[in-house]
Structure formats: structure tokens, C-alpha cells
Amino acid sequence: MRAASLLRRVAAMPATELRDRLTGTVRREAARLAHRARPAAWRRDDLAAAIVPRTAELAGAITHLSAGRVHDAHAALARHFATRPRRWPIQPAMRDAVARTIRARFPDAAADAVRRADAIADGRLDLLGYRDLRFTPVASPGAGQSALDDSGVVRAASSAIDWHRDPVHDRVAPALFWSEVPYLDPACGDHKIIWELNRHQHFLALGRAWWLAGHRPARATFVAHLASWMDANPPLVGINWASMLELGLRSLSWMWALEFFVEPAAGLDQPDSPPSDAHPWLVDLLLGLDRQLQLVEQNLSTYFSPNTHLLGEALALYVAGRTLPELRRAPARAQLGRRILIEEMARQICPDGGHVERSFHYHRYTLDFYLLALAVARLTGDDTRPFAEAARRLARFARIIADDRGHLARIGDDDGGQLFPICGRDSADASDSLALSACLLGDPSLAVGPVPEEAMWMSGRGAMADSGRTAVAIPSTTLGDSGYTICRTARGDHLVFDTGPHGYLNGGHAHADALSVTLTVSGRPLLVDAGTACYTIDAARRDRFRSTRLHNTLILDGREQSEPAGPFHWARTTAASRLTWHTSPALDYVEGAHEGYAPLVHRRAVLSRPGCWIVADRVLGAGDHQAEVHWHLDPRWTVAAGGDGWLRADDGAGDPVWIRSLEGEFAIVRGSEAGGEPDLGWVAPAYGHVRPSTTLRLVRRGAAPFALVTVVLEAKERPSIEALTVQVDGAADRAPVALRLIDGEVSDTVVFGLPTPCSDARSDTSGARRLIVAGDLETDAALLWYRSHAAGTDTRLTIVDGSVVRTVDGRTLLMLPAAVPFKETVA
């Protein structure tokens, strides 16, 4: 069966793809056999052939390397890099100016940088959702000391870190040829943890401490870690050579380190070490960069992971090629990386600016990729227009989907990684990316507030302007290509409704979350996506956290909307669609549907107004069925019975939120640290970090069609609610639903009408529209919102897809000659 499927795939491949795959396979196999005959090793004299003698210092370095004088070569290279023109966001000559500005703007930054650097030096690292991870030391000579044999090959030296170990699950990946490493096998440990360490992004945190505080232990730790990594990771061997994206991201970290740590007056670098222990780290860094980028060039993820993996690899090639013209392969790398980045814009960025994987986390990654490409293009005199176009579209989308603090809902996979984690910011906080976008694109409307420290480092502008102006208000918006609708208010309410496709290609980073909702109330996250607990280390947990049950949507008859088939594939997927969208200053209304439970249809309508949200889930079809609606709360909220069927949710930071259903009472399911990990009552705010929380669960069984309605309201006091009887053509009907909600002096009547569009199904054979009677009102609208005050003033009426509203005693409130998509009146 597998062989037949493989043959069908091969037969369907375009000739170009078939040729590329065959060429790649032959190249890898030849390299594997050559490595078996003569294992690869780091040879410092190899760097001589990789360098172009563009300056006297570079020519001198080549001469020294060829003669085996690596310490002299290091000194020559240091003089060159300390004085060359700027080609990266920062350069050594900027150190004092940038440090002064950041210390003045952020008085605690230097102390924070030293604290983080000392933890790293002590072997304690915060990675993904894990804190204070410690990696087992390797027994060897003194830390950071590399020894050379007579041929100039770096021999095994000490390592303060085991670079192949997953300390969470206490497993070590095997030292195999890179293409043979089974990194998805849990026996190797969680490859995400190992790779996160080996991205060397902690070099940026060490550089921050060095620049802001002159903290010599930070610089010493960098030199020691670079040396030990080279010792423990000879070319082409082990898990840290198995992913081209990881090589690319590590290369970016090394380029940051070059600019952070090279010294203008450098001879040999001797950080806290006697001269005999001095390490020519610059020689090794350039040697390692060139060798890793060579492998990336030859093994791009063009057919394996043509998503953010390919973008990250192309980014590394482009910026390394533009930033390091000292390396002989630089022009070819820059050209290849640029071509891919530009070509992938059309494939990976939707017309509305969203990334095609429908993961907000990976969208932010993509934005940061193009921002760095743009910054380097501008600094090195390359054409910036395509990168600016991509960054502008991605940034505008990010600003729309982010809440007013710049935080992103964890929709789709979120592995906790970042391109630039220099200050330890939460991966869901995109305010730094938005500030950088505002700076590089000259568009202040993209920022959400004052410039964060990260944006100053990333832009290389320590004196970066910070107007302090209030963030530009973003209206409620629907994003038709990506499939998200965002409802927001001036008071900080923020709702995201997913009515779009299921991911990209194999949907590797998608979840079974059609028609799911996330909600922030007055700036406080309330309804959240359960997150991403893991990828490959625990298959059951992986599937559970991307299941329909762990998203804020409806499950029918216990079925999944989409069914997984491995950690990054799906056997069956479901796409949602948006049916209706209207917005006004008073309210937003959106409705979507999906057929993941065919032959039945799930339709969800969301009515959003400041401080109040009403969600109507309707199951359309026939037969007896069981529906469940789940609402997953941020762990900061506690929930208790509030009386009269209401639940009261509190987070201690504002007014309570009241939650109720018209169809029965929600069960409150709480996770417990002592009680294992059941299906509900848990969230993963970061990869690998699973926390107990609260899930609200409503179950209803009945004959379709039927509806379930949830009301969420922020108020000091408990509101009053009443379900209204609904009739169509004089007979009771289960499809429309109506309620009256009273909050203080305000009474709102809401009618969700017949769940079919304004068309033949809404009319009889004579063309007359069918009328719905709900309580004391009569209408033909798909949605009616009628607000009145106890004092009888300021009556407001809104309809969607309708023409008439009147009272049952004959008083006309609204009469139009024909149905209109949207109408709002104030009396």
C-alpha cells in the first residue's frame, strides 16, 4: 500500500521536482559515503580558501591561516570586522551610543541583562515554556579550551553543555550522519528543546549584557559556548545538522555575535583567561558559518517544508550573503536567498497579508523574516522594494489581529520560538515586531505604544524616535483570504473568529478549530486557544491539544472536525466559510459555517458590542444528535456559580464577567496539578508548559435543527436574561432563537432569525418573506437587535438581511420596501 502510494506521488511529480529530488538524494548519499570513509572535521586552514582578500587585513588573515598561525589570523580578522562599513543592524562602533540610549530609556535594562547573562553562564537557560533548564556537562578539559593537533584540526575539548541532550525527558540524540538522524522519534528526546538551545539565540542575551554593562562573564560565556559547540558538533554529524532551518537560525545568531563581541583594538581575545587559554573564536565562527550555509544551500526545504522553513533558510542565505561579502560564496548565497524570498511572497502571503499556515505565531515569524531582510537590504544597498512590500502586508495583518497591547491569540501552532528573543519577551507579545515595522516602513500606525527595547536593537537605532503618541485605533475588520474576523472596541475588547481554510498544504501547523473564538475583555484575555503542548514527544498530547475539544467551538456526536494523521499531517480536514459580516460603531455581526460533521452543518453567529457578546450555535440537518460547546478560559480567571443560571468569572483586575447559556447550565471543568491531565481544564501558554485552567462545557441532545446560545457580559452586577418563544408562520420553530437581556436600565432583545440566506428558502412561492415572531416583536430579519431604556429614550434598532420590524400589537418600528443587508436606526 505504501509502495503504491509512493509510486503515485512520484508519477505525479513535475519533471523539475523529480530531477531536484534525485540530485539531492545522490548528493546526500555521496556525502554520507565520503563521511563514512573519512569523517569530517573542523580544519581552520579551510577558512583560507573561503575568504576573499578584499582588504589588507583579510589578505593577512589568509596568509596566517595558510601558515597555521590562527591566533594572528584571528587578530587580523578582528581588525577588519571592527572597522568595516556597517552591514548589520548593529556594528562595534555603535556600542557606546546604543548602550547610552537604551540605559537612559530603560533604566533597569543593564541589571536585567546581567541577571540573564549570569544565569546562562551558570548553565541555566529558559527555553520555550521551560525555565532554568540545565544541560549535563561533558567530562573534558577546562571550559572553553580547544586543542589543536599538528594538522590544525580542532580536537575535542570541554563543553559546559551537552548540545545533543533533551534534559526534560533525559534523552540524547545519536551521533549519526545528519540525514540519518531520526529526530522525530521520541527516543531522541524532544528535538524542539535540543534545537532551541542550539539556535544559540542566548548569544544575543549575552551580547546585550556585554554592551549595556561591559559584563565580561557574558563575553567569556559566549566564547566558551562557541568553542564547545564546535568541539561537540563536527561537520555533518548529529541532530544539530539535521534541519536546514536550524542551521539558518543558528547562523543568524552567530552574525549577531560577531557584531556584539568583536573588539576594535583586538589582538587575541582573552576574556577572563590567561594568554595560554586565549581562543581564536572569530576564525572558528567564520569557518562554522561558511560550512553550515554550504549545507543549507545544497538542501533547501523546497519540497520538504516549503513554508516558514524554506523562508528561514532563504533569509539566512540572503542576509549572510549581503552581510558577509568576505566569504567567497556570498554573492551566490545572496542571490539564491533573495530569489526564494521574493518567489515565496506570492505563495506564502495571502492577499490580505496573512501567512498561509493560519498560525498567528508563524505569521509573526514570517513578518520578522522579511523585516530583517528589509533592514539588511537597506544597509547593504540592495533593492528594498519587494521586502518592504512583503513586510508592509504582513505587518498590517499583524496589527489587525493583535489586541491593543500587541498580543496575538495562540491560534494554530505556537512553538514559543522567536527570531530575536534578546530581552525574554513572551512569544505572544508582538509589540516589538510592530514597533520595528513602524520604524522600517515609516508607518507609525503599525505600533501599539512606546518603542520596546528589542526594536531598538533590531533596527540598530539606539536613538530611535519614540513620539509617545497614542496608538492609532484599529477598527473591526474581516480578513477574507485568511478567514478571520476581528471585532474590537475602544475599551480594549478584542474577539477573533475563525471562518477560514484549514492551514496550508498538509496543514502541519493547523488545528481542528473551525468557527473557534478567542476573546479579550477590556484588555484581559478571557477565552483562549488551549495552545501547543508539544510536537513529537507525546503523540496523544499532540493530538489532544490540536483537537476540536480543546478549542472554543462546537463538537457534534463526539466527532472531530478534522482528523490528524501524525504530528504534522491530517487524514481529513475541514474548512469554514464566512457567510455574513457587518460592522458599525454600535455592534459587529458575523456568521460562519462548516460541514465537518456532514451531512449536518454547524453555523455560528457572533454578535459583538462593547462589553457584551452573544454566540448562537446552530446544528442544521435531521436526526437526533448530541452537541457540546466548550469555552476555555485563561488560567488567571476563576469561575463560580453566580445565581439564576449565571456563572461569574473573576480575574481580580476589573469587573466580573457573567456567562450563561439559554439551553442549560455549563459544567465547570478544572484541571488539577495533582489529578493528571484530562481532556478539558488545561492550557499550554507556551510550548512544553501545560497549566491547569477552567473549561466551561455545555451539552445538549435533541432533534436537529436546534441551537445553543452563549451570552458573555462584563458588568458589576448580575444581569437578567429571558429566553423568548419563537414562532414561524404561527408554529414553534427550533431554528431561530431569541432572548431578552436586561443590564441595569437597558433592555436588549436579540433575535437570530432563520438560518438560511435571504433567498428562495426565506420566501414562499409568491415571493413574500417569512416572518418570525419572537416575544412581542415580529421581523423577517436574519438578525434583529432592539435596545430600549427604562426611561423610554434612546431606542436603537439594527437588522441584518431584513425589511420589517413591528410589535405584535401592530406598531411598526421599521418598514422598508425591500430587504437590505444592514440597517441601523436610532429613535
Do residues 122 and 106 lie in contact, with contact meaning Cβ atoms separated by under 8 Å?
no
More confident residue, 428 or 144: 428
Closest by Cα among 562, 564, 565, 587 to 574: 562
pLDDT in tens, 477-497: 999 999 999 999 999 999 999
Closest by Cα among 548, 550, 486 to 520: 486
Residue position matching grid coordinates 556597517: 86
Closest by Cα among 748, 527, 490 to 647: 527
AA letter at 121: A
Q: What is the pLDDT of residue 398?
A: 97
Please name the helix (run of DSSP H) or strand (run of DSSP E) that holds residue 36, with its range, or none: helix 15-37
Instruction: Reply yes or no on whether the pLDDT at 442 is more than 90.
Output: yes
What does each C-alpha distance from 184 to 242, 349, 534, 543 come to in angstroms? Answer: 11, 28, 12, 15
pLDDT tier at 41, thresholds 50, 70, 90: very high
Residues with Cβ within 8 Å of 220's Cβ and at least 6 positions away in sequence, in order, are 121, 144, 271, 272, 273
Q: Which CATH superfamily is domain 300-474 in?
A: Chondroitin AC/alginate lyase (1.50.10.100)
pLDDT tier at 472, thresholds 50, 70, 90: confident
Instruction: Please report, rounded to a whole number, the percentage of residues in the chain having pLDDT higher than 90.
Output: 77
Q: What is the pLDDT of residue 11?
A: 65
Q: What cell does 468 get?
A: 509617545
Q: What is the pLDDT of residue 473?
A: 86
Closest by Cα among 161, 144, 157, 156 to 272: 144
Lowest mean pLDDT among 221-235, 414-428, 724-738: 724-738
Q: Within 13 Å of residue 572, how many CA atoms lie on the same side as its CB?
A: 9
Instruction: Reply yes or no on whether the pLDDT at 140 is more than 70.
Output: no
Domain boundaries, the chain: 1-38, 45-289, 300-474, 476-718, 722-827
Q: Name the class of domain 476-718.
A: mainly beta
Q: What is the pLDDT of residue 743?
A: 84
Beta bridge partners of 31: none
Residues with Cβ within 8 Å of 320's Cβ and at least 6 positions away in sequence, in order, are 251, 255, 289, 293, 327, 330, 333, 334, 337
Q: What is the pLDDT of residue 144?
A: 35
Instruction: Reply yes or no on whether the pLDDT at 600 is more than 50.
Output: yes
pLDDT in tens, 224-236: 999 999 999 999 9
pLDDT in tens, 333-345: 999 999 999 999 9
Instruction: Reply yes or no on whether the pLDDT at 300 is more than 70.
Output: yes
pLDDT tier at 730, thresholds 50, 70, 90: low
First and final CA of the chain: distance in angstroms? 69
pLDDT tier at 471, thresholds 50, 70, 90: confident
pLDDT tier at 763, thresholds 50, 70, 90: very low
pLDDT tier at 732, thresholds 50, 70, 90: low
Q: What is the pLDDT of residue 466?
A: 55
Q: Is the pTM of this model over 0.85?
A: yes
pLDDT in tens, 546-593: 999 999 999 999 999 999 999 999 999 999 999 999 999 999 999 999
Lowest mean pLDDT among 153-157, 172-176, 210-214, 600-604: 153-157
Cβ-count burial of 571 within 10 angstroms (0-12 exposed, 13-18 middle, 19+ buried)? exposed
Q: What is the pLDDT of residue 2?
A: 57
The rounded distance, in Å, linking the Cα atoms of 736 and 707 is: 8
Do residues 321 and 332 lie in contact, with contact meaning Cβ atoms separated by under 8 Å?
yes
pLDDT tier at 703, thresholds 50, 70, 90: very high
Instruction: Reply yes or no on whether the pLDDT at 729 is more than 50.
Output: yes
Pairing between strand 477-479 and 484-488?
antiparallel
pLDDT in tens, 391-419: 999 999 999 999 999 999 999 999 888 99
Q: What is the pLDDT of residue 768?
A: 59
Instruction: Reply yes or no on whether the pLDDT at 15 is more than 80.
Output: no
Residues with Cβ within 8 Å of 158's Cβ and at least 6 positions away in sequence, in order, are 138, 140, 141, 142, 143, 144, 145, 228, 231
- The length of the chain is 827
Q: What cell does 444 get?
A: 507609525
Q: What is the pLDDT of residue 146?
A: 36
More confident residue, 712 or 4: 712
Residue position matching grid coordinates 516589538: 432
The rounded distance, in Å, linking the Cα atoms of 53 and 70 is: 16
pLDDT in tens, 601-633: 999 999 999 999 999 999 999 999 999 999 999
Do residues 498 and 576 lie in contact, with contact meaning Cβ atoms separated by under 8 Å?
yes
Q: What cell does 318 get?
A: 540572503
Residues with Cβ within 8 Å of 28's Cβ and at least 6 positions away in sequence, in order, are 179, 299
Nearest 5°: the CA angle 140, 251, 339 is 155
pLDDT tier at 792, thresholds 50, 70, 90: low
Do residues 341 and 370 lie in contact, with contact meaning Cβ atoms separated by under 8 Å?
yes
Q: What is the pLDDT of residue 238?
A: 96
Lowest mean pLDDT among 35-44, 193-202, 388-397: 35-44
Do residues 439 and 461 lie in contact, with contact meaning Cβ atoms separated by under 8 Å?
yes
Pairing between strand 554-556 and 624-633?
antiparallel
pLDDT in tens, 45-104: 999 999 999 999 999 999 999 999 999 999 999 999 999 999 999 999 999 999 999 999
More confident residue, 723 or 762: 723
Instruction: Please report, rounded to a whole number, the percentage of residues in the chain having pLDDT higher than 70.
Output: 89
The mean pLDDT value of the chain amounts to 89
AA letter at 219: R
